[in-house]
Structure 1
Amino acid sequence: MDFDQPEASSSTRGRSNVLYVPETTYDAQPQPAFQYRSIAHADPVICIDNGSSSWRAGFSTQSTPYIDRPNVVAKYKERKQGRNIMLFGRDIEADANSRSNGRSVFDGDLLVHGDVLESALDFTFLTLGIDTARIEHPIVMTERLANPLFTRALTSELLFEMYNAPSVTYGIDSLFAFSRQKHSDGLAISMGHNATTVIPVVNGRGILSRSKRIPLGGVNMSELLLKLAQLKYPTFPLKVTIPQATFMARETCYFSTDYEAELRTLENPATLSAMTKIIEFPFTVPDVVEKTDAELAAQSEKRKEHGRRLQEMQKTQRAEKLAEKISALEIYRNILLQRSLLAPDDFLDLVLSETDFESEAELEAWVKKTDADIKRKQKKDAGEDAEPEEDPVFPMVDRPDEELNEDELREKRRQRLMKAGWEARVKVREEKERAKERRLEDERKEEEARLADPESWAKRLRLEQEAVMLRMESRKKTKSQRKDRKSAAAQSRMKTIANLAAEDKVVNTKKRKKGDDDDGFGKDDSDWAVYREVGGEEDSDAEEDDLTTLQSIESRLLQHDTTFTEDDTMVGRAQVKNALINAFVRGGAADRFDPTDLRQSYQLHLNVERIRVPEAYFQPAMFGVDSAGLGEVAGWLLNGFEEEQRRKMMQCIFVTGGASSIPNFIPRLRNALTPVLPFRAPLKIVSSWDGGDPKLEAWKGMASWSVTDEAKAARVSREEYMEHGADWIKEHAWGNPVM
């Protein structure tokens, strides 16, 4: 894949290190047909650069190819109108149906799909304005290094049989590009879509017997960057495509002139952050309806009105409940008034039959309590201060059992329980009051200490923070050690289990009967620590208490100590400790990652990947490719020639292809070749003849060569094709030899 696809420019939108991935690469403007009549009299040659990534075609009289599109074809039937549609190049991005039907002429680096090639040729000739049944112009087309005969035969059959071309010539793209150079000796390096080739050129002719091929190209770089991004961000919300990965590689990657040395500098989080590029993908912001001031005021008034209605409803419900209590109180008071008129047994029968109480004392206690509650609520509704609650009286608790009958004994037991509950509640209330007073006193003393000596106060709190964090770290360390059976914590746990199993007394799982011996386990709180130790569970209560204490200490220090910052907190220390990881994943941004921020969720941060991906050309083994690097291959080829011939070739190391436009490529190749070549030998590396686009060098060289006498002599005519067959070719300086 050439590093010029998709066509889109990055935007900065406020931050220089942010690149915005375009939403689409589709160009809605159709390519107009060429004015064929304007050049028909010149009898030009049709030049076609059939690359595995890009298809470039035009007439030899043109300075640049008229057609420059991705080499992809989509053929499908349009459902609405029932028409057969054929799209070529970037037009297949028109909709999902065309994208799913896109096909390339090549399978890897091998041309195999003749029907797709036919569609590409149809588009080419029609766009060039040739609408006749016969092609009247010679055709020159590129092919791969060591191209198999069957692929050349497939192309020749289409051009001669279907389009009646007068003649066809094939040549290697990188050699066509080299033909534009002034030197007749050198190396032709082509950094293609699926492979990189290195061909030595001697006396103006490619020496294909010494050529080398590295199975690594632009598409592998895009796939590698995509895999690294997926590994780095496994939960990324979008599916990143190969064209988008190519865009990221083209816009962010560069060759490191000294890869190992630059990697060592990236151990510094600041350096890693400085080289980070943020890639932001398009996302849809949820629509937020902004209301006017009048609408907000109306909404606020509506909420207030709703609150008033709820208050009125609650007030009505409280009044109804109070009325029910008053009614029930009157009924039970009338029952109590009959106590003096009836015998004790008859009155007890009346209480049991007319009420839900089991004794006269319960009824009397309820009447007294309810009467006090009603008076308190009535005073509260009237806005008066409530009278302090009277302490309950339990008269029968102090009376001896000998003086009481059976009913009074039951009442005494009930009052004893009520008194115990009352005393427990009073004790808890008093303890809360004392705790509140102690807390207020501690806060007052701490505030006085802070105002009297702020430095000592801050130092003491910092020591407390250190102690708490040390406990938490020790607890975490112990928990992790328990997973290792050879650790001291795990061995101590096993020792405890062994001691429990070796005890003489066996725990009976059945319910202990009265009179059985009790071992006394559980009376001491330390006994229950055995279960935590054996179970290997950390004390969650202690962890929670330490966390609460730590948060309180850090909040006070942040509020009053100007030297204490977010980086000094436990969370801040962890982030500083992991600054390198933070710089690698999030670029070491000053703003911490916020999962609720939609923009941050759609961002990728590329840093090490920017130099790691291109380095695959020089160290393919890093990514599982069993091949020597580009520097080794080029150096080995140059050293295989005699000294004088090598000196000539070193004056023209020519590189072409889309990946050769990646920044720092020529310095990186120079640094790789210099150690393996003779000391201080002159070395010249170029990427284009006149400072033009390296990706167009093959087509321009082909167009210039196609009108030479050598090109005319190398043409295979239609008559020769009919006589000798599709395997017949004529050798020339820039083509494949007869195999």
Structure 2
Amino acid sequence: MPFISKIERQTDYSQFDSTVPIVIDNGGSYFRIGWAGEDEPRVIFRNIVQRPRHKTTGETVTVVGDHNPALLRYFDCTRSGPRSAFDGNVVYQFEIMEYILDFGFDRLGADQSQIDHPVLITECACNPIQSRCRMAELLFESYGVPSIAFGVDAAFSYKYNQQLGICNSDGLAICSGFMTSHAIPFINGEPAYEACCRTNVGGYHVTDYLKQLLSLKYPHHISKLTWEKVEDLKMEHCYIAPDYTSEVRIFQKGAKEAEEKTRCWQLPWTPAPAEEQPSEEELARKAALKERQGQRLREMAEAKRSSRINELENDIRGLEFLLKQLKQVEENNVPAFLRETGYASKQEIESNLAKAIQSLRKAKGEQVETEEKMDASMADKYNLVNVPDDVLTPEQLKEKRKQLFLKSTTEARQRAKQKRIEEELEREKQMKMEEEKRLENPERYLEDLRAKYRELSEKVEQRKRLKTNGNNTNGNQNGSGGVGRGERLNAAQRERMRLLTTAAFDRGKGEDTFGIKDEDWQLYKLMSRDNDDEEDEKSNEDEADLARVSSRLREIDPTFFPKSESGSSTAEPPRFRPLTKEDFQLILGVERFRCPEVLFQPNLIGIDQSGLDEMAGVSIRRLPCKNQGLEERITKSILMTGGSCQYPGMAGRLEAGIRMIRPCGTPITVVRASDPSLDAWRGASVYAAAMQFPNQTFSRTDYYEKGEDWLRRYQFNYTL
């Protein structure tokens, strides 16, 4: 399980003498600080810094350590990701490191302006001199530390476990940390740094790989896959496979053993409340309410129609009365009378009267007359139409042709308008009949409409397929999947081509006898392209009917989804179902051993470096002295330490890997540290509590007198 942060501020800082050192394990993942001689660190927190902004004021604050969910209420933490002071396992961002040290010393109970205790701080193996110098400068200049000692975390862990009798003085420490992994040989209890080996793979890469796999597998639960939760899943469920290839085959076969090794993570889930079926009384009440609403709408429509009819009848009576008055008015007083009524001419009044009569007939649902009689005004307007040409002058002939054109245009426009009115009335009549059918039996009406939609869609799709791919029953399909010209023709065009081919073939046989029989001339009628026009008209009519039926289904059926326009395949309607407990489960199968495998095969995540077993072989080959039996003594005591060495099966896999690269019969013993995460701090605590520790420190006086260059020759001795 992951470690629980301890960030409570200590209150006994003043009780410790100034000679008691402060021990800091400055790891890439966790920062641990405490007092020398104690078994546990006082303060543990994540070695990260965040700088979110306040949602209201925009003020930026600095948050050190673990992410606190309570901050989301007041601060925007989405734009400020966690930042680390490490690059790999080397400190290079000392501005961030200063925030972390401030927080660590404050939680320990110290006054940050002056630290009067010696400090023992851990670093990585072969730490660059520049990083060590900047760390010394920060501690001396900012905190006034009297003396500093630097030591390797893996070496402290190895020495601590040596005191416990777990490992020997000659051995190999394999430390797999957060960002990197090291292999450090020990000879007579001292690390041989010239033979150590490093790989840039650690626990961070395992967690990140697991997070990627789960995010791809469950994209709808990606918000639940936070870094902290994936870290918990890794520590709780992941393991090292004894043989990666064999383990993968087990999950490929899906045997019972694979089911036993599969784990399930249940996300928070609340079952939806069960919907109760409405009772018969409720259904009857809803049906009655629906009927009342429909009756109310029908009454409103009837009232509106009656009002419209009354209004049109009043307009017609007024216009007829106006025409009667106009007949009694003398010809000289007609313009003045028209000005008072608001009309420009008698023709305008008659035109409005005709329109009102037509609208009244339409409102009453009567059949509108298709042919209108030409009234006196029309005869007056086109007075030369019926006059013979021989009695007209050339100017009158020209005017007669003009009147004929205007009259034919006007009549054609009126006929087209009348036709549109009749079509609209017919549509309204059909819609009224369909509405009556729907109200009479809604289920039956909907079922018939769906059946009609399926029939029309099949017709349209079949015609499109024939037009696009042709009739493939003749076996003319080519091997490339395309279609020839003959297969792209419709039925009429293919029939015409067949007749032409047959006629040409018959004529080529011998004497040309075409035309002797009357039936031969019927061939031209069959070859006519009018059939194509008829086929296109049928296709357009079917598509129009399909669009009308589809539109009607959309109105009355919310679950209806029309077919896809891109092809004959239908767009499957989404099937809504209540979410169940299984929808909130994350299954961990092959991911359990696939993610930690990057420690042995970094190429799985694109890192071309050695794994842990290969690192051990490289370090043994780099040993400076080739004493007899030294390699065997080292392989007898291989210690695994670091937070990433806690996976089950790690020791067996590491021993098998090292055995494959060492000579046959080499004694190999792989053991794990008593506490791979805290043994580094505990070893440093034991070392700092020894009486010889002041001799290993680098004082502030030495720093001011000798400068940073002396740190290049600073060598820490782990054997007291």
TM class by smaller structure: 0.5 to 0.7
How far apart, in 2, do the equivalents of 1:235 and 1:506 lie? Answer: 62
1:37 aligns with 2:8: no
1:139 aligns with 2:119: yes
For structure 2, which runs of at least 5 residues remain unmatched after alignment? 163-167, 304-360, 371-468, 502-520, 540-574
CA deviation after TM superposition for structure 1 residue 224, in Å? 1.1
Of residues 190, 206, 211 in structure 2, which corresponds to 1:205? 190
1:489–1:663 Cα change, 3 Å: same
Contact between 2:175 and 2:182, CA under 8 Å: does it hold in 1? yes
Residue in structure 1 matched with residue 445 of structure 2 by the alignment: none
SS of structure 1 residue aligned to 2:678: helix
CA deviation after TM superposition for structure 1 residue 706, in Å? 1.6
Residue in structure 2 matched with residue 54 of structure 1 by the alignment: 30
- Worse-superposed segment, 87-96 or 251-260: 87-96
1:313–1:136 Cα change, 3 Å: closer
Residue in structure 1 matched with residue 690 of structure 2 by the alignment: 708
Residue in structure 1 matched with residue 2 of structure 2 by the alignment: 4
Which one-letter code corresponds to 1:40 in the other structure?
Answer: D
> 1:81-480 counterparts in 2 under 5 A?
85-90=61-66, 92-96=68-72, 97=75, 99=77, 100=80, 102-131=82-111, 133-182=113-162, 183-236=168-221, 238=223, 240-271=225-256, 272-282=258-268, 302-303=285-286, 305-306=288-289, 309=292, 356=367
CA deviation after TM superposition for structure 1 residue 56, in Å? 0.4
Which one-letter code corresponds to 2:23 in the other structure?
Answer: C
Residue in structure 2 matched with residue 447 of structure 1 by the alignment: none
How far apart, in 2, do the equivalents of 1:686 and 1:506 lie? Answer: 92
Contact between 2:21 and 2:119, CA under 8 Å: does it hold in 1? yes
CA deviation after TM superposition for structure 1 residue 716, in Å? 0.3
CA deviation after TM superposition for structure 1 residue 632, in Å? 1.5
How far apart, in 1, do the equivalents of 2:657 and 2:249 lie? Answer: 19
Contact between 1:652 and 1:684, CA under 8 Å: does it hold in 2? yes
1:720 aligns with 2:702: yes
How far apart, in 1, do the equivalents of 2:211 and 2:529 lie? Answer: 62
1:494–1:733 Cα change, 3 Å: farther
Which one-letter code corresponds to 2:71 in the other structure?
Answer: D
> 1:499-538 counterparts in 2 under 5 A?
516-519=524-527
CA deviation after TM superposition for structure 1 residue 521, in Å? 11
Deviation per CA, 1:251-278, whole angstroms, max 9, x where unpaired? Answer: 2210011212222222222343332222
CA deviation after TM superposition for structure 1 residue 168, in Å? 0.2
1:122–1:311 Cα change, 3 Å: closer
How far apart, in 2, do the equivalents of 1:646 and 1:197 lie? Answer: 18
- Worse-superposed segment, 212-221 or 132-141: 132-141
Residue in structure 1 matched with residue 46 of structure 2 by the alignment: 70
1:490 aligns with 2:490: no
Contact between 1:650 and 1:684, CA under 8 Å: does it hold in 2? yes
How far apart, in 2, do the equivalents of 1:697 and 1:316 lie? Answer: 88
SS of structure 2 residue aligned to 1:69: strand
Contact between 2:46 and 2:65, CA under 8 Å: does it hold in 1? yes
CA deviation after TM superposition for structure 1 residue 240, in Å? 3.1
How far apart, in 2, do the equivalents of 1:188 and 1:33 lie? Answer: 34
How far apart, in 1, do the equivalents of 2:703 and 2:33 lie? Answer: 23
1:496–1:159 Cα change, 3 Å: same
How far apart, in 2, do the equivalents of 1:149 and 1:356 lie? Answer: 104
SS of structure 2 residue aligned to 1:654: strand
> 1:540-559 counterparts in 2 under 5 A?
none
Contact between 1:206 and 1:733, CA under 8 Å: does it hold in 2? no
Contact between 2:124 and 2:152, CA under 8 Å: does it hold in 1? yes
SS of structure 2 residue aligned to 1:47: strand
CA deviation after TM superposition for structure 1 residue 215, in Å? 1.1
Number of aligned residue pairs: 481
How far apart, in 1, do the equivalents of 2:522 and 2:581 lie? Answer: 70
Residue in structure 1 matched with residue 716 of structure 2 by the alignment: 732
CA deviation after TM superposition for structure 1 residue 497, in Å? 5.0
Which one-letter code corresponds to 1:275 in the other structure?
Answer: K
CA deviation after TM superposition for structure 1 residue 124, in Å? 1.9
SS of structure 1 residue aligned to 2:630: helix
How far apart, in 2, do the equivalents of 1:675 and 1:357 lie? Answer: 101
Deviation per CA, 1:341-370, whole angstroms, max 9, x where unpaired? Answer: xxxxxxxxxxx9x984999xxxxxxxxxxx
Residue in structure 1 matched with residue 505 of structure 2 by the alignment: none
Q: Give the structure-2-normalised TM-score.
A: 0.58
CA deviation after TM superposition for structure 1 residue 727, in Å? 3.8
1:185–1:600 Cα change, 3 Å: same
Contact between 1:204 and 1:733, CA under 8 Å: does it hold in 2? no
Contact between 1:169 and 1:715, CA under 8 Å: does it hold in 2? yes
1:95–1:281 Cα change, 3 Å: farther
Contact between 2:35 and 2:41, CA under 8 Å: does it hold in 1? yes
1:659–1:520 Cα change, 3 Å: farther
How far apart, in 2, do the equivalents of 1:114 and 1:242 lie? Answer: 25
1:277–1:94 Cα change, 3 Å: same
Residue in structure 2 matched with residue 617 of structure 1 by the alignment: 599
Contact between 1:168 and 1:715, CA under 8 Å: does it hold in 2? yes
SS of structure 1 residue aligned to 2:223: coil
1:503–1:677 Cα change, 3 Å: same
- Worse-superposed segment, 493-502 or 606-615: 493-502
Of residues 621, 627, 637 in structure 1, which corresponds to 2:619? 637
Structure 1 vs Structure 2 CA RMSD: 4.6
How far apart, in 1, do the equivalents of 2:210 and 2:156 lie? Answer: 31
Deviation per CA, 1:547-589, whole angstroms, max 9, x where unpaired? Answer: xxxxxxxxxxxxxxxxxxxxxxxxxxxxxxxxxxxxxxxxxxx
SS of structure 1 residue aligned to 2:234: helix
How far apart, in 1, do the equivalents of 2:661 and 2:266 lie? Answer: 42
1:602–1:290 Cα change, 3 Å: closer
CA deviation after TM superposition for structure 1 residue 234, in Å? 4.4
For structure 1, which runs of at least 5 residues remain unmatched after alignment? 8-26, 321-351, 360-478, 508-512, 532-592
Contact between 1:236 and 1:601, CA under 8 Å: does it hold in 2? no
How far apart, in 1, do the equivalents of 2:56 and 2:523 lie? Answer: 92
Contact between 1:278 and 1:604, CA under 8 Å: does it hold in 2? yes
Residue in structure 2 matched with residue 21 of structure 1 by the alignment: none
CA deviation after TM superposition for structure 1 residue 599, in Å? 4.3
1:319–1:234 Cα change, 3 Å: closer
1:315–1:708 Cα change, 3 Å: closer
Which one-letter code corresponds to 1:303 in the other structure?
Answer: K
CA deviation after TM superposition for structure 1 residue 212, in Å? 0.6
How far apart, in 1, do the equivalents of 2:133 and 2:69 lie? Answer: 32
1:113–1:636 Cα change, 3 Å: closer
1:297–1:514 Cα change, 3 Å: closer
Residue in structure 2 matched with residue 650 of structure 1 by the alignment: 635
1:187–1:488 Cα change, 3 Å: farther
Residue in structure 2 matched with residue 695 of structure 1 by the alignment: 677
How far apart, in 1, do the equivalents of 2:697 and 2:20 lie? Answer: 14
Which one-letter code corresponds to 1:700 in the other structure?
Answer: R
1:259–1:710 Cα change, 3 Å: farther
SS of structure 2 residue aligned to 1:179: helix
CA deviation after TM superposition for structure 1 residue 622, in Å? 2.6
How far apart, in 2, do the equivalents of 1:75 and 1:311 lie? Answer: 62
